[in-house]
Amino acid sequence: MKMRISVTIEDEDESAFTEPTIMEVSIPRVEAFTGPEVFDQVFEQYEREVLEARNGVVEEATEKYLSAVGKKNAVGVECTKRRSH
């Protein structure tokens, strides 16, 4: 079984600010939860994988977001310099 986590960052006008970040992670099948005695072990696999994926996907999306922030500001500085010359 897979969980797909997708992160999209959009401008106010709902246009894409960065390209979407998608991460897929394997999670235990529902049939694996055969009873209370295995619940903790099976759910631990789920939780660990999902937490890692969640952190990974947000990290990647944030990198893209901040790169875009940096790029925008760099353009702004260039313009200012040109004006001062």
Partner 1 sequence: MRWVKKTQSELNVQKGEAIERPKEYIIEAEVGQLEIDTFEITKGSRKIFSTKRDVFPETGPREHHKTVCFRELALFYPCDEPYRKSALKLNRALRRKKGQEVRVRTMANLVEREGEQIQAYVEKKAERILENHGWSSNGSIADQKKVVESIKEEEVILAQEKVCQMIEELNRGQEKEKHIDLEDVHETFEDPIAIKANISIDGVCCKKQKAKGRKKGSPAKEKREMVDNTVAHIQNKESKTYTAVSPTVSQMMTIVLAFLLSNGLLSEPGSLVFFTDGARDLRSAIQDMFRFLPFKIILDWYHLEKKCKDLLSMAINGKQIKSQLLHELLTWLWLGKVDRAMDLLRTVKEDTIKNKKELENLINYLCRNRSCIPCYALRKKLGLRVSSNQVEKANDVVVSNRQKHNGMSWSAEGSTSLATLTALRCNGEDRQWLLNCDIRFQFDAGAQKPAA
Name the residues that contact partner 1, by CB under 8 A. 30-31, 33-36, 39-41, 43-45, 47-48, 50-51, 54
Nearer residue to partner 1 within complex by CB, 47 or 63? 47
Between CA 42 and CA 11 the distance in angstroms is: 39
Closest CA to 3 of 56, 55, 38, 49: 49
Cβ at position 40, least distance to partner 1 in Å: 5
Helices (H), ranges, the chain: 36-84
Cβ at position 62, least distance to partner 1 in Å: 16
Nearer residue to partner 1 within complex by CB, 36 or 82? 36
- What are the beta bridge partners of residue 23? 5
Between CA 9 and CA 20 the distance in angstroms is: 7
Cβ at position 61, least distance to partner 1 in Å: 17
